Amino acid sequence: MIKKIFKIFIIIVVILILWVFVRFVIGGDEDDWICVNGEWVKHGVPNAPMPTEPCN
């Protein structure tokens, strides 16, 4: 019984590690400025100020 619980725990930990890797390493940064209908829109909490170049 304990071995079965341990295996399930290990599987859950591996799945969580994979999810974190995919989300933050492969998924990229969510905090950025994006161009919507010719205007810069804040997405998340970007560290950089709003871009000064025009948004096309």
Residue 42 has pLDDT above 70, yes or no: yes
Q: Which residues pair with 54 in a beta bridge?
A: none
Q: Give CA separation, 37 vs 1, 4, 26, 34, in Å.
A: 58, 54, 27, 10
pLDDT tens, 1-25? 999 999 999 999 999 999 998 887 7
Residues shown for the chain: 56
Query: Is 41 within 8 Å of 34 (Cβ atoms)?
Result: yes
Please report, as a single letter, which amino acid is at residue 46. Answer: P
- At 38 the three-state DSSP class reads coil
Q: Whole-prediction pTM value? A: 0.53
Domain segments of the chain as ranges: 2-43
